[in-house]
C-alpha cells in the first residue's frame, strides 16, 4: 500500500514525496526506473517552468501521438527516434570492444523469413535503378574470416521506398536477401543504389520536426543483421558518405565508422565482368564481429 509520507507535496520536496510514495514491496528494478523518471521529469519541469497552457499542449501532443499509433504506425517509436533516444538505447546495449563494427538502429522495415540466396545474387528483382556491387568480409576482432555467418540485408529502392511500402509496385522481397559466408568469410551481392527517404512525417512527430526547423530525411543506406553463434549479433547500416543528408540523419543513426565509399565504375571491362550493361557503384566493406559476452 502507498506509504504514508512525512511531509506534504511542495515545490521544494516534490521529488522525494513522489518517490517515497512507492511501496517497499514494489519490484526493485521498477522502483529504480520510476525513481529516475520522476526525478528527471521534475527537474525538467522546474527548469522549464511551463505555463498551464504549455503543460496542456504537452498533454495534447502525447494524446495525438497515441492516437496516431496503430498496428501499422508507431508514432511513439518515431518520437523516440527523432529525439535520439532510440540511438542512445542502442548505443548503451551495443558497447563493443575496439575494432568491432558498431551497431545502429534496426528500423521498422526488417522482415523475417526472407529467402536465402546464393552468394553473388542480385537482390534487385525488378532491375530498376543504378546497379551496385557490394562486397566484403565478415571477420573476428583478430582479423580472421568467420565462416557460416548469416547476413540479412534489406534496403530502399531508387525512390526511397522499401518493398513493404509499395506492395504491388515492387515485387515481394525486392532488395532483400539472406546470405551465408563460406570459409573465406567473403560476402558479395548485386543490388540497386538506395536513395534517402523521409520518416513518416504526416503525424504529430512530423509537425514537431517542422516546428524545430528539422527535415525528416534519412541518408541512403543498406541494412545488415549479421549473426554467427559465439559472436554478438551486429545490427547496423552502411551509409553513402556523399548523401545530401549524411550530416543530418533525422534519427541520428549515422556513425563515422559505418560509411563506405559508393564508387562509380564506368570501366567497360569491369561492367561486362559483373554482368551489368551500364556503369555501376562499387562498395567494399568488412564487418568485424565481437565475441559473445
Binding residues for a copy of itself restricted to 234-263, rule: CB under 8 A: 247-248, 250, 252-256
The answer to the question of residue 178 lying near a copy of itself (CB under 8 A) is: no
Please report, as residue ranges, which positions from 7 to 36 form the binding site for a copy of itself (by CB under 8 A).
8-11, 14, 17-18, 21-27, 30-34, 36
**Sign of the torsion formed by the C-alpha atoms of 62, 107, 196 and 174:** negative
Q: How far is the CB of 212 from a copy of itself (least distance, A)?
A: 5
How do 176-180 and 150-155 pair as beta strands? antiparallel
CA dist list (Å): 194 to 219, 236, 242: 9, 16, 12
Q: Are 280 and 221 in contact (CB under 8 A)?
A: no
Site string for a copy of itself, 51-80 (x = CB under 8 A): xx-xx---x--xx-xxx-x----x-xx--x
Q: How far is the CB of 247 from a copy of itself (least distance, A)?
A: 4
Q: Which of 226, 244, 246, 248 is nearest to 235 (CA)?
A: 226
The answer to the question of residue 232 lying near a copy of itself (CB under 8 A) is: no
Cβ proximity to a copy of itself: between 83 and 114 the closer is: 83
Report the C-alpha gap between 215 and 249 in whole angstroms: 9
Q: Which of 128, 150, 215, 270 binds a copy of itself (CB under 8 A)?
A: 215
Q: How far is the CB of 110 from a copy of itself (least distance, A)?
A: 14
Q: How many helices (H) and strands (E) does the chain have?
A: 7, 11
Q: Which of 223, 218, 222 is nearest to 199 (CA)?
A: 218
Report the C-alpha gap between 76 and 89 in whole angstroms: 15
The answer to the question of residue 278 lying near a copy of itself (CB under 8 A) is: no
Using the contact rule CB under 8 A, the part of the chain among 171-179, 207-215, 260-268, 273-281 near a copy of itself is 207-215
Q: Which of 28, 72, 93, 183 binds a copy of itself (CB under 8 A)?
A: 93
- Nearest-10 crossing angle of helices 52-68, 204-211: 130
Q: Which of 118, 142, 212, 277 binds a copy of itself (CB under 8 A)?
A: 212
Amino acid at each position: 500500500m502507498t506509504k504514508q509520507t512525512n511531509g506534504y507535496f511542495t515545490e521544494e520536496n516534490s521529488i522525494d514525496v513522489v518517490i517515497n510514495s512507492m511501496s517497499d514491496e514494489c519490484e526493485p528494478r521498477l522502483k529504480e526506473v520510476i525513481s529516475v523518471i520522476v526525478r528527471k521529469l521534475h527537474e525538467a519541469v522546474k527548469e522549464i517552468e511551463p505555463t498551464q497552457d504549455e503543460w496542456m499542449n504537452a498533454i495534447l501532443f502525447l494524446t495525438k501521438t497515441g492516437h496516431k499509433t496503430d498496428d501499422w504506425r508507431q508514432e511513439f517509436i518515431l518520437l523516440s527516434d527523432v529525439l535520439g533516444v532510440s540511438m542512445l538505447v542502442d548505443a548503451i546495449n551495443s558497447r563493443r570492444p575496439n575494432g568491432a563494427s558498431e551497431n545502429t538502429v534496426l528500423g521498422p522495415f526488417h522482415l523475417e523469413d526472407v529467402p536465402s540466396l546464393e552468394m553473388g545474387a542480385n537482390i534487385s528483382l525488378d532491375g530498376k535503378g543504378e546497379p551496385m556491387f557490394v562486397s566484403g568480409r565478415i571477420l573476428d576482432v583478430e582479423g580472421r574470416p568467420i565462416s557460416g555467418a548469416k547476413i540479412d540485408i534489406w534496403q530502399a529502392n531508387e525512390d526511397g521506398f522499401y518493398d513493404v511500402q509499395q506492395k504491388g509496385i515492387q515485387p515481394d522481397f525486392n532488395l532483400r536477401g539472406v546470405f551465408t559466408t563460406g570459409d573465406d568469410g567473403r560476402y558479395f551481392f548485386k543490388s540497386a543504389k538506395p536513395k534517402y527517404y523521409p520518416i513518416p512525417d504526416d503525424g504529430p512527430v512530423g509537425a514537431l520536426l517542422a516546428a524545430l526547423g528539422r527535415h525528416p530525411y534519412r541518408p541512403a543506406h543498406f541494412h545488415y543483421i549479421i549473426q554467427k553463434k559465439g559472436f554478438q549479433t551486429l545490427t547496423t547500416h552502411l551509409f553513402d558518405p556523399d548523401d545530401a543528408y549524411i550530416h543530418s540523419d533525422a534519427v541520428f543513426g549515422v556513425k563515422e565508422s559505418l560509411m563506405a565509399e559508393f564508387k562509380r565504375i564506368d570501366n567497360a571491362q569491369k561492367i561486362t565482368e559483373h554482368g551489368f550493361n551500364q556503369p555501376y557503384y562499387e562498395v567494399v566493406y568488412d564487418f568485424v564481429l565481437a565475441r559473445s559476452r
